[in-house]
């Protein structure tokens, strides 16, 4: 009987796993609609009073996304005012969802990686993750890897989608 050879294990593919770089920290999403009349109408005096009475210390060292889950038309200053209340406590504050927060964290982190170690290597950007890695992070990873990698694929070694192959010089 012929020996079964694991060609995936023997390949020279380098895996770039964004999960390895997933920023640690407690993520919290704050929904502004909780301070709007019936979730839709911002009455400035009541809004300010609600913010004043809110316990902001509960967000100590959190990574916070501020958004509005309803279709309310919320003036920009409302999110800014929430961010000002959070500033003494939160590690990071973004306007948007938790996905926007994670994207922002990767946008800060990915430019700091030394991509020269991937020079002339066949790369696979690992696609399956247990953590919520946003699509924007994958796009950025490919952007930073492309000047160095010989090739870039996405997915898993056994079923990767080719994305880029450097021209031969």
Q: What is this structure's pTM? A: 0.86
State residue 166's pLDDT score.
Answer: 92
- List the chain residues with pLDDT less than 70: 1-11, 169
The whole-number pLDDT of residue 8 equals 46
Looking from the CA of 97 toward its CB, the CA atoms found within 13 Å total 5
Instruction: Give the tokens for residue 10.
Output: 């023997």
Q: Please name the residue ranges forming H helices in 12-93.
A: 44-53, 76-86
The confidence score (pLDDT) of residue 159 equals 84
Q: In this structure, what are the phi and psi dihedrals at residue 119, rounded to the nearest 5 degrees?
A: -60, 130
Provide the pLDDT for residue 4: 55
């Amino acid at each position: 009987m012929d020996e079964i050879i694991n060609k995936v294990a023997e390949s020279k593919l380098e895996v770039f796993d964004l999960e390895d770089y997933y920023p640690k920290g407690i993520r919290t999403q704050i929904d502004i609609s909780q301070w709007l009349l019936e979730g839709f109408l911002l009455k400035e005096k009541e809004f300010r009073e609600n913010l004043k009475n809110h316990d902001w210390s509960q967000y100590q060292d959190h990574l916070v996304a501020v958004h509005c889950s309803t279709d309310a038309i919320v003036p920009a200053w409302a999110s800014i005012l929430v961010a000002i209340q959070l500033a003494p406590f939160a590690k990071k504050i973004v306007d948007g969802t938790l996905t926007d927060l994670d994207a922002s964290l990767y946008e800060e982190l990915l430019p700091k990686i030394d991509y020269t170690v991937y020079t002339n290597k066949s790369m696979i950007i690992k696609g399956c993750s247990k953590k919520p890695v946003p699509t924007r992070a994958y796009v950025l990873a490919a952007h930073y890897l492309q000047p160095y990698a010989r090739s870039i694929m996405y997915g898993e070694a056994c079923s990767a989608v080719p994305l880029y192959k450097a021209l031969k010089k």
